[in-house]
Every structure is written in structure tokens, then in C-alpha cells.
């Protein structure tokens, strides 16, 4: 086998692997949401907690790739990513307000920042700013972003809403990838931070998110009351956020000069490579649903 033929086979192998992961993983996730909705979708939300924790560990590895970066222990990175989704889940059961998340963020920030004033070893002074920026970033992303995935379970019709959200994000990603592979070769390099992304892929993903939410509004008018135009606005916003979330993670990897966040998922890289879009779009879906269909 020549080197050229081997190069051709590797992308095709990645495509097949990616399709298989999607064909198995997404139906399994939707099945989990549909079949085990009790206790505020507890199994799904436990999965969210572990996903944000693992994604935080991977992101800490990306941040540590820079020479001047602070290298945070994996257990602490996991905790920073998981703590706010855990607080959001507890809030659903005990009925406290969403401000509990803000309270936790402020408290953790105050404790870590205040501790720095009592350092006695001058050799550690130079690392204070890298430490603070790393810790606070992991607390917010993926932690705070991921907490909105949990908070979706607090809505009425939460099962339908979570399924629609998952479908609008992951079908966006999959159609963007497929259409980009088929028709995007001549319109790639649209954004330098992710040169393999194409205009054809972006359009396909965006349209898919809109189609999913409008179709859901037509089938489930009790969940998405009013004009389907509202659902189209929701789908358009989520579609844009999913794309931006993917690009934002690509920017982090380009800054650290790494290709993937990890190798946990075949054909996709790390877990963060697979949850960047839902993490970024969850708060958009949450607040827009409040405004368009409840508020």
C-alpha cells in the first residue's frame, strides 16, 4: 500500500467511525432521556455531571499545553467542572432559586482569591495569576455552561425539551460534517481557526437546527405554543450557538497547538470535542425558551 492510498483511507476511516459513534451514541442518549425521566431526569443529569467533569479535565490539559500555564491536578479540574451542574441538580430537588449557582461561583472565587494573600513562599507568587485564570475559567466553562443542561429538567415538558435540544444540536453537527465533506471542498477555510469547516457545512447545520425546532413546534404545540416563527427563532439561535461553540473550542486548541482535547471517543477526539456545541448552546436554548414560550 502506498503512502498516498494510506492517507486517503484515514479520512474515510474517520468518517465511518464518526458515523458509527453517532448512530449508536445519540439514540442511546435520547433513549435515556425518554425512558428514565423520573427524578428530574436523574440518570441524564448524572451523565451531564460526569461529562462536564471529564471535559474540564481535558480542557485543563489544553490550557496546560502553554509554557506559562498553571498545571492543575486532574481531580481538582474534574471538581471545578462538575460542581455547578451538581448544585443545579440539587437546586431542582430542594427548590432553591437559580441564584444558588451565583452564590457558589462567588464563594469559590472569594476563597481561592483570598487564599492567595496568605502565601508565604515567594517562589509561588508568579503563579498566582495563571492559577486564578485557570480555576475560574474551568468553573465557568464547562461548569457554569453545563449547569444549564441540568436546568432544562426544571421546565414543564422537560422530556420533550431535552430531546428537541439534543436533536437540534447533534443533528446540526452531523449534517454540517456530512454536507461539508460532500460539498464543502471549494468553500473551506471560511474561518482560519478551523480551516476544514466550510460554508456548505455551516449552512446545513444551521438549517437543520431550525427544521428540528419548527417540526417540534408543529408536532408538540403544547410544548412550543404560538406561532412556529418563535420556534424558528429558537432553532436559529441554537444553530448559531452550536456552531460558535465548536469554533470557540477550536480556538482554544489552536492557541495551545493541540489537535484534539483527548482520545476518549473514536473518530471525534476527546469528550470536550463532542460536548462543546451543547455546552455553548444550552444557556441560549434555556433563556430563549423562557422568553419566547413562557415569559
pLDDT (tens digit per residue) in 158-194:
999 999 999 999 999 988 888 888 887 776 677 888 8
Collapsing DSSP to helix, strand or coil, 46 comes out as helix
pTM of the model: 0.91
pLDDT at residue 7, as a whole number: 39
Percent of the chain's residues with pLDDT above 90 = 61
Return the higher-pLDDT residue of 70 and 281: 281
Query: Which of the residue ranges 200-204, 256-260, 283-287 has the most confident prediction, judged by mean pLDDT?
Result: 283-287
pLDDT band with cut points at 50, 70 and 90 for residue 265: confident
- pLDDT value at 220 more than 60: yes
pLDDT band with cut points at 50, 70 and 90 for residue 240: very high
Rounded to 10 degrees, the C-alpha dihedral 57/63/69/71 comes to 10
Return the higher-pLDDT residue of 289 and 106: 289
Per-residue burial over 23-47, b if 16 or more Cβ lie within 10 Å, else e, is eeebeebbeebeeebeebbeebbee
pLDDT band with cut points at 50, 70 and 90 for residue 33: very high
- pLDDT value at 70 more than 90: no
- pLDDT value at 16 more than 70: no
The answer to whether 227 touches 293, Cβ cutoff 8 Å, is no
Please report where in the chains the cell 461561583 appears, as a residue.
105
pLDDT at residue 192, as a whole number: 84
pLDDT band with cut points at 50, 70 and 90 for residue 3: very low
CA-CA distance, 148 to 251, in Å (whole number)?
A: 23
Per-residue burial over 225-236, b if 16 or more Cβ lie within 10 Å, else e, is eeebebbbbbbb
Eight-class DSSP state of 291: I
Amino acid at each position: 500500500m502506498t503512502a498516498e492510498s494510506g492517507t486517503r483511507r484515514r479520512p474515510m476511516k474517520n468518517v465511518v467511525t464518526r458515523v458509527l459513534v453517532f448512530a449508536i451514541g445519540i439514540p442511546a442518549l435520547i433513549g435515556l432521556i425518554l425512558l428514565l425521566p423520573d427524578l428530574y431526569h436523574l440518570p441524564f443529569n448524572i451523565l451531564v455531571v460526569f461529562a462536564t467533569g471529564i471535559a474540564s479535565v481535558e480542557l485543563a490539559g489544553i490550557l496546560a499545553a502553554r509554557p506559562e500555564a498553571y498545571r492543575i491536578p486532574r481531580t481538582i479540574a474534574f471538581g471545578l467542572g462538575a460542581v455547578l451542574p451538581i448544585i443545579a441538580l440539587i437546586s431542582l430537588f430542594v427548590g432553591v432559586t437559580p441564584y444558588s449557582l451565583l452564590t457558589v461561583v462567588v464563594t469559590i472565587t472569594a476563597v481561592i482569591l483570598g487564599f492567595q494573600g496568605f502565601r508565604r513562599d515567594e517562589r509561588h507568587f508568579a503563579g498566582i495569576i495563571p492559577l486564578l485564570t485557570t480555576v475560574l475559567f474551568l468553573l465557568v466553562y464547562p461548569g457554569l455552561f453545563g449547569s444549564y443542561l441540568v436546568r432544562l429538567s426544571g421546565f414543564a415538558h422537560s422530556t420533550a425539551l431535552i430531546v428537541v435540544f439534543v436533536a437540534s444540536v447533534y443533528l446540526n453537527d452531523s449534517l454540517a460534517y456530512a454536507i461539508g465533506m460532500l460539498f464543502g471542498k471549494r468553500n473551506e477555510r471560511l474561518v482560519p481557526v478551523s480551516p476544514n469547516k466550510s460554508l456548505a457545512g455551516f449552512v446545513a447545520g444551521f438549517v437543520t437546527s431550525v427544521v428540528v425546532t419548527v417540526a417540534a413546534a408543529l408536532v408538540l404545540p403544547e410544548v412550543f405554543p404560538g406561532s412556529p416563527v418563535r420556534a424558528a427563532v429558537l432553532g436559529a439561535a441554537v444553530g448559531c450557538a452550536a456552531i460558535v461553540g465548536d469554533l470557540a473550542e477550536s480556538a482554544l486548541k489552536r492557541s495551545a497547538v493541540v489537535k484534539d482535547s483527548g482520545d476518549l471517543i473514536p473518530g471525534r477526539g476527546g469528550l470536550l470535542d463532542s460536548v462543546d456545541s451543547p455546552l455553548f448552546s444550552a444557556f441560549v436554548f434555556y433563556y430563549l425558551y423562557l422568553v419566547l414560550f413562557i415569559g
